[in-house]
Amino acid sequence: MQKYNCIIVEDEPLAAEVLQDYIIQVPFLNFKGTCSDAIYAMELLQQQPVDLIFLDIHLPKLKGLPFIKALKHPPQIIITTAYQEYALQGYEYNVVDYLLKPIEFSRFLMAVNKLKQQPAAAAPEQQAPAPRAGERPHLFFNVSKRKVKVYLDEILYIESLKEYINIFTKDKTILTKFPLGEIEEMLARNNFLRIHRSFIISKDKIDAFTATDVEINNKSIPIGRSYKELVMSVLTPPSW
């Protein structure tokens, strides 16, 4: 039987205790610990393998949904919250289930049983290929039946146009058919940051920023409301 290593990210001790009791009763769940905030959870994820997170939304320091965005390779997630208004947004992150407190054990079982219905783990997410010695990192994109090379250090920002994206550099704009979420994964380790459902930016190219937008090459790019907390945590030094 496949076992799932799981953690609880919850700042309410009673709610965490209930979830822990439920987890212990399920043979294919292996309880690995409770984190009272998302920052501590990030540290724990680096220390041991975790297959499943029971995640509250309203957490101190960093809220639940921005926490999911901050994870490059998130494990499976079951949201546990008292706020039903975030359900649709939660499913946009491909969560396994969305549980409303107080959580009945029968409803908990329905959620964790969905884990067995999930497809087998996919291959590691594609990243921009590692360059050879002395070679600048780059990607090729289909443009009018040609493969066009784009150097990553020349990209200012990327804008989504439904199934297409616009890649902006100082000298040109490249329109290509490519999902924004997929290019986000490919650029994850190359100093890029998604700040809006429609925009990814190069952090190195930021000229200025506020709580609502960033400025790159005289272009003002909005920061999405649901991305604001993550963006500020990345761009603002802790001492500010």
DSSP string, 113-128: HGGGGSPPPPPPPP-P
Q: pLDDT tens across 80-118, in order?
A: 998 887 676 666 777 889 999 999 999 999 999 988 665
All structural domains of the chain, each given as residue ranges with its CATH number in brackets, are 4-117 (3.40.50.2300), 138-235 (2.40.50.1020)
Q: pLDDT category, 230, cuts 50, 70, 90?
A: confident
pLDDT exceeds 70 at position 238: no
Mean per-residue pLDDT, 173-181:
87
Lowest-pLDDT range of 34-38, 151-155, 162-166: 162-166
Q: pLDDT tens across 180-212, in order?
A: 888 887 887 778 999 998 999 999 999 999 999
Instruction: Tell me how crowded residue 22 is: count the other CB atoms within 10 A of its CB.
Output: 21
pLDDT exceeds 50 at position 123: no
pLDDT the model gives residue 159: 94
3-state secondary structure (DSSP) of residue 227: helix
Mean per-residue pLDDT, 139-144:
87
- Supply 35's token pair: 């984190």
